[in-house]
Chains A and B, each alone.
Chain A
Amino acid sequence: MNHAVLLDRTHATRPIRTRLTMTLAVFGSLAVVTCLLAPLVGSTHISLARAFDRSIPFSENVDAQIFFVARLPRVMAGALVGATLAAAGVVFQAMLRNPLATPFTLGVSAGASLAAMLAIIFGATLTIGPFSAVPMASFAGATMATGIVYWLATASGRAMSTSVLLLAGVTLNSFFSALIMFAQYLADFAQVYRAARWLMGDLDVGGFDPIVGAVPFVVAAFALFALLPSSLNLLSVGADAAAARGVDVARAQRLAFFSASLATSAAVSLAGPIGFIGIVVPHLVRLLVGVDHRIVLPASALFGAAFLVACDLVARTVIAPVEIPVGVVTALIGGPFFLWLLVRKG
């Protein structure tokens, strides 16, 4: 089965409006069905009838608590983080004109990880409303990394150059990784273990508060994403070509960079840096629906949600009561997928 055939199937003679509607319908249903089914499955057997039985006081209803406190927030977090990381991946790949870019390429997650590590080491306990210490710290770290990369890329006063951006991001990644290793070296055993655990990602948020905290940022990021897709198409063909077609290149690049960084910051603060979503999902989606970003972006968000919720389902049931960190599951799926892609292309 070769490349052209896959595309032909979806492109044929149908105009984009139809393709977009169909794609959204299919992927939307997939996301909805996954999110509806996931809370029904878990390591413990529960009775749905009991869980929804209003006559039992909530504080005595184990089934209800398992469903509403343990599983539902976890599925919601999975959907939120999956959609966000997948969409951010699409945007970064288009902006950097590189299909291998991920939401973590520019150092945002390294900044988040370093800050989370420091919060763990120093035993930070500050809690403001729905935000607790480590998520707040990691969001701050991610924002700081975003700012540093942007400053580096625009330092000489000219408009942001994507190649300088990439270089700055990769450099920052290395630098922060070194600092993380250093911090691990200085920390005590328990803290190192906890930090390492955080780096593997964890969707078990244990309540709706952390989600409520992340939602405004995610919504803001997606609102900005909505403005991007056609610009992303043009930008990915070439910056000058895009400018000649009416795109305000500097503005579009800034918008793409900040919205995708914001999205990544929110996702990583909520659940840690879960890898592979931001690269596997966009590639998979492109194989299915073509490369037009107006379709790929929303489709990736929906598919990303379903994908991560499914991975987390596997992570929490396969060897219960012990859980596999969800980042390990996404890596186990993502790695072979990329090998397969490589073999196909080669």
Chain B
Amino acid sequence: MATRAKGLIALAALLVVGAAGQAGQTTQPRAAAPPRRIVSLVPALTEMLFAIGAGPQVVAVSSYDEFPPEVKKLPRVGALLDPDSERILALRPDLVILYGSQSEVQTQFARAGIQAYVYRHGGITTVLDTIRELGAATAHPTEAARVIRDIQTRLDAVRAAVKGRARPRVLLVFERQPRTLRDLYVSGGEGFLHEMLEIAGGQNVFADVARESVQPSTETLLARAPEVIVEVHTSGMLEAREVADEQNVWSALSSIPAVRNKRVRILTADYLVVPGPRLAQATEAFAQAIHGVRPQ
């Protein structure tokens, strides 16, 4: 590769910058025909593809894809850090869905004349925009609009269900070491998790921190004193007994209102941290955890 690569990477950098500026755009838009062979490296976007009816066109997914069940039969082509461009090219796709940081493979696909859709991370609006853009790129605009409407309706239902209720201060934990309180990752005041939390009628205790993820120290946790703690774990990791164990871990910090009043909720499901079509479902789960309400 050597010196040729340098030139190409420079080109790719330009593309990425361009792509970042108007992210989500496809490179080298082709005329007319919708893609028939789609490779997706981003699980959330794979879900979107299936939700808008482009599932049958998906020929390969990333190593971490798990939903919907149809993807289990599909070949895997790597993920964020290790995309297998050879395999992808061998599958002759006409649309590849990539992360923005995967500039090298982007360049490769551009050279091969393959359309690429670059995933952009952001809040709920970004998620809905992505669904719409994918709908346009795969010639399923109507279904995409329907999916978006469904999500918005469900989110509105959640808003209605929690309207008028007092909004407790909530700590949303999405990662920590098992059985200890070390290495906590919680939602900051930005990003889709934060927005879902707010819709579900909670007040993020770290709303003032302009980051998606915060690693609070023990002191900070005690100082912020959340009234409800919601922990999300991807499913398959916790049995009932383990749930109780994990809740008990918080008992060392008994001055936290959520701990004292036994409002530590441990949620286990695979859709809770995916910025995709099921985020309405996740938001409903949050509302359930915080207010005990199920929207109609």
Q: A21 in the interface, Cβ–Cβ < 8 Å?
A: no
> How far is it, in angstroms, between the C-alpha of A322 and the C-alpha of B179 when the chains are bound?
23
Within 8 A of B (CB), among A110-141: 120, 123-125, 127, 132-134
Q: Are B180 and A206 in contact (CB under 8 A)?
A: yes
Query: Could you say which of A27-35, A196-204, A295-303 contacts chain B?
Result: A196-204
Q: Are A61 and B255 in contact (CB under 8 A)?
A: yes
> How far is it, in angstroms, between the C-alpha of A123 and the C-alpha of B216 when the chains are bound?
21
> How far is it, in angstroms, between the C-alpha of A86 and the C-alpha of B219 when the chains are bound?
27
Q: Are A207 and B252 in contact (CB under 8 A)?
A: yes
> How far is it, in angstroms, between the C-alpha of A43 and the C-alpha of B255 when the chains are bound?
18
> How far is it, in angstroms, between the C-alpha of A202 and the C-alpha of B183 when the chains are bound?
9
| In the complex, per-residue mask of A15-53: 1 if CB is within 8 Å of any chain B CB, else 0 | 000000000000000000000000000111000000000
Q: Are B218 and A204 in contact (CB under 8 A)?
A: yes
| In the complex, per-residue mask of A154-196: 1 if CB is within 8 Å of any chain B CB, else 0 | 0000000000000000000000000000000100111000100
> How far is it, in angstroms, between the C-alpha of A221 and the C-alpha of B195 when the chains are bound?
51
Given known A-B contacts A134-B177, A206-B218, A323-B215, A44 and B223 have beta carbons under 8 A apart? yes
Query: Could you say which of A62-70, A144-152, A254-262 contacts chain B?
Result: A62-70
Residues of B close to A59: CB separation below 8 A: 254-255, 260
Residues of A close to B64: CB separation below 8 A: 188
Residues of A close to B220: CB separation below 8 A: 43-44, 320-321
Residues of A close to B82: CB separation below 8 A: 185
Residues of A close to B80: CB separation below 8 A: 189
Residues of A close to B252: CB separation below 8 A: 69, 206-207
Which A residue sits closest to B82, measured CB to CB?
Answer: A185
Residues of B close to A202: CB separation below 8 A: 182-183
Q: A74 in the interface, Cβ–Cβ < 8 Å?
A: yes
Which A residue sits closest to B242, measured CB to CB?
Answer: A125
Q: B33 in the interface, Cβ–Cβ < 8 Å?
A: no
> How far is it, in angstroms, between the C-alpha of A188 and the C-alpha of B223 when the chains are bound?
32
Q: A293 in the interface, Cβ–Cβ < 8 Å?
A: no
Partner of B217, one of A120, A133, A204: A204
Residues of A close to B32: CB separation below 8 A: none
> How far is it, in angstroms, between the C-alpha of A188 and the C-alpha of B232 when the chains are bound?
17
Residues of A close to B122: CB separation below 8 A: none
Residues of A close to B218: CB separation below 8 A: 69-70, 74, 204, 206
Q: Are A132 and B255 in contact (CB under 8 A)?
A: no
| In the complex, per-residue mask of B196-217: 1 if CB is within 8 Å of any chain A CB, else 0 | 0000000000100101001111
| B175 CB, min distance to chain A CBs, angstroms | 6
Residues of B close to A204: CB separation below 8 A: 182, 217-218
| B74 CB, min distance to chain A CBs, angstroms | 19
| B96 CB, min distance to chain A CBs, angstroms | 20
Within 8 A of A (CB), among B220-239: 220-223, 225, 237
> How far is it, in angstroms, between the C-alpha of A59 and the C-alpha of B260 when the chains are bound?
7
> How far is it, in angstroms, between the C-alpha of A132 and the C-alpha of B176 when the chains are bound?
13
Residues of A close to B254: CB separation below 8 A: 58-59, 65
> How far is it, in angstroms, between the C-alpha of A194 and the C-alpha of B185 when the chains are bound?
9
Q: A205 in the interface, Cβ–Cβ < 8 Å?
A: yes
Which B residue sits closest to A119, measured CB to CB?
Answer: B177
Q: B14 in the interface, Cβ–Cβ < 8 Å?
A: no
Q: Are B177 and A120 in contact (CB under 8 A)?
A: yes
| A7 CB, min distance to chain B CBs, angstroms | 42
Residues of A close to B177: CB separation below 8 A: 120, 132-134, 194
Given known A-B contacts A188-B64, A194-B177, A207-B252, A321 and B237 have beta carbons under 8 A apart? no
Give me 30 A-to-B residue pairs in the complex whose CB atoms sit less than 8 angstroms apart, sorted by A's number: A43-B219, A43-B220, A44-B219, A44-B222, A62-B223, A66-B219, A66-B222, A69-B222, A69-B252, A70-B219, A74-B218, A125-B179, A125-B242, A132-B179, A133-B177, A134-B180, A185-B81, A188-B64, A194-B183, A198-B183, A202-B183, A204-B182, A204-B218, A206-B180, A206-B253, A207-B252, A321-B209, A321-B216, A322-B209, A322-B214
Binding site for A on B (CB under 8 A): 64, 80-82, 175, 177-183, 206, 209, 211, 214-223, 225, 237, 242, 252-255, 260
Further contacts, 16 of them, CB under 8 A, given A133-B177, A134-B180: A43-B219, A58-B255, A59-B255, A62-B223, A65-B253, A65-B254, A65-B255, A132-B180, A185-B82, A190-B175, A194-B177, A204-B182, A206-B180, A206-B252, A316-B219, A321-B209
